[in-house]
Amino acid sequence: SRVGHLRFTFQDTTTPYVLVEATRASVMGSADPTNVTYPHGAITIDPAKREITGRNPERRDFIIGPSPAPGFAGYFCARFDAPFAAFGVAQNGTVAEGENAGEGTLLAGYATFAPGSEKVDVRVGVSFISEEQACKNVDAEIPDGTSLEETAEKTRTAWAEKLDRIQVEGASQ
């Protein structure tokens, strides 16, 4: 419930990579699309753990209430099943290869994978508490060694169990 499992498939790509956006230009806090803000976030890359973690203060629920939630942050932990061939931080159009951390606006981290890599799986956990909690959510919900197919089957079973509780009567096709 707090973790996603993704697969990236690379075709005809000389340098397969994944970019993780920590922050971006946003209309946060307003339904007015001309009211652009630039949230301040953070990103950390740990190639030994094959992880990209970070925080983002952007809220997308501003439309349902007036609370600005000044201390809000969403934390994430993206854990990859393949080692990084290279990594770095991109900020406001500038790329710093080999840099493993950054803070600020328009911020992203990236990892490249060995030439010829055809697929890379990543498990992404989220938390409103901390990056550490986001990583713990990955450990708890999709432990190391769990395949995407296993996650998909577990998810289908969970949804079927919930939906099987509903009975509809009197409806036509």
Model pLDDT for residues 81-123, shown as the tens digit of each residue: 999 999 999 999 899 999 999 999 899 999 999 999 999 999 9
Find which of 136-140, 151-155, 165-169 is predicted with most confidence, using mean pLDDT.
136-140
pLDDT at 2 over 80: yes
Taking the model in full, what pTM does it have?
Answer: 0.84
Query: Which of the two residues, 49 and 128, has the higher pLDDT score?
Result: 49
For 125: left if phi > 0, alpha if psi spans -120 to 50, otherwise beta; the answer is: beta
Tens-place pLDDT, residues 18-42 = 999 998 777 655 556 677 777 789 9
